[in-house]
Amino acid sequence: MTDDQLLRYSRHILLDDIGIEGQERIMASHALVIGAGGLGSPALLYLAAAGVGRITLVDDDTVDLTNLQRQIAHTSARVGLPKVVSAAQAMQEINPDVQVTPLQQRVDANLLDDLVPGADVVLDCSDNYTTRQAVNAACVRHARPLVAGAAIRFDAQITVVDQRVADTACYACLFPPAARFEEEACSTLGVFAPLVGVVGALQAAEALKLLVGTGQSLAGRLWMLDGRSMEWSSMRTQRDPACPVCAGCT
């Protein structure tokens, strides 16, 4: 670690739970982030600021004026650019040492099978049910920890899927893939701007804890926030023995 890096990451290094060894693990790690919008923006910025060595971000969308109310990685000057390009620019302005790989495409099972095995942690910051299910299935297949978040209107949730933690649920245990959920888009229902910041920051926090190997993750818990009252509720989750995705996993 260089003198500049010791200064940059000094507030992490001062923490007994991280220290120099933990910060070096962060710097040697690879995070895969799906989505560079409301949740992805704060998650990506915090991961870059924390010094995650390699960050791959995937999103097929471009920056729109309606995004700027909450997607803090983007600016008015970058309207029309691919979100991954805009977010990568913001990340490298914060920390030029981070290696950023922006991929402007929509994820599918084939792409996930290429990307997930090379990641130390995966963050699902997407905004649709189909993508969440695909990301979860890939993380279960390749035994990679997943930090999944979601927010709409004034409601938000976050959980961790980690097959290394015995009997904990995957995303499909909680929300069956065959269920027919009507997609709720913030373009029609709205979303409270700071709420995605709260959840995205928490996703970054969970990811960094997993990379360092400290603390207790949200594996086995679904954490939900009511933004109107700012009340958190937590639900214990267990693996569904009949889950079509993770049944039989050890």
The two three-digit tokens of residue 136, written as one number: 């979860």
Cα–Cα dist 165/217, whole Å: 10
8 A C-beta contact, residue 170 and residue 43: no
SS3 content of the chain, % helix, strand, coil (to 5): 40, 20, 40
Which residues touch 55 (CB under 8 Å, ≥6 apart)? Answer: 30, 31, 32, 33, 44, 47, 48, 91, 98, 99, 100, 101
Cα–Cα dist 212/6, whole Å: 17
End-to-end CA distance of the chain: 37
Does residue 223 sit in helix, strand or coil?
strand
**Please, what is the Cα angle at 33 between 202 and 214, to 5 degrees?**
45
Cα–Cα dist 24/219, whole Å: 24
| Catalytic one of 125, 139, 170, 186 | 186
The two three-digit tokens of residue 115, written as one number: 């990307």
Does residue 238 sit in helix, strand or coil?
coil
173 is annotated as an active-site residue: no
Residues recognised as catalytic: 186
